[in-house]
Amino acid sequence: MIDQLEPFHDAVLRHTEGTPYTVTARDDGFDVGLDIVNARWFGIYSAQGLNRVFVHRVKVEGKRYTITDRTYSVSWSAGVPRLKLNAEAFVGRKYQFSAQKTWALNGERKPAKVVDYKFSSEEGRGMIKAAAREVGLKERMPWSVKAPLIVGIAAGVLSVGGVLVAWALGLF
C-alpha cells in the first residue's frame, strides 16, 4: 500500500504545480484543495469573497484509491448590535461549478474587468485521476458516496414496487 502512495502523491504534486491547489500528505493518502493561505492566490480569493473551501480527500488502499469531497463554508457579519456566524460542512461527492465576471469603472472612468473567476470541482478531481492513471491506480467509490446511492436506488425500487402492488390490488 505504501509503495503506491508515494508515486501517486508525487504525480499529483506534478499535476498541481503552478495551480492554486496544494497537496497535504496524510498517513493513508493526501488532501488536494485550494491553497487559501498562499499570498499568490489570496488576492483572487479575497476579491471573490471566498467563504467555501473545497478539499478532495484521497485515500490509497492497495492498487485502488478513493476520492471523498469535503466542503466547508464559513460566513460572518458584524454590525451594531448583532454578530452572526454561520458554518456548514459536507462529505461525499459534490459536483460544483461557479463563475463570476464583474466589470466596473476604473480610475480613468473606463470599464475594466474587476473579477474574472471560475471554479469547477472537476478541475482538482481531474488532476488526481490523471496522476492515478500515470501510476496505474484504479478509482473505487467511497462509502460516503455508495451509501446514499444504494439508499436512493432502494427507495426507487420500493416506490415502483409499491405502485405496482397498488395497481395490482386495483387501488388505482
Q: Assign 37 to helix, strand or coil.
A: coil
| Sequence spans of domains, the chain | 2-140, 143-172
Would strands 111-120 and 97-105 be described as parallel, antiparallel, or unpaired? antiparallel
Please write the tens of the pLDDT for every residue from 30-73. Answer: 999 876 554 444 455 444 455 567 889 999 988 999 998 888 77
Look at residue 44 and give its three-state secondary structure: helix
For the whole model, what pTM was predicted? 0.64
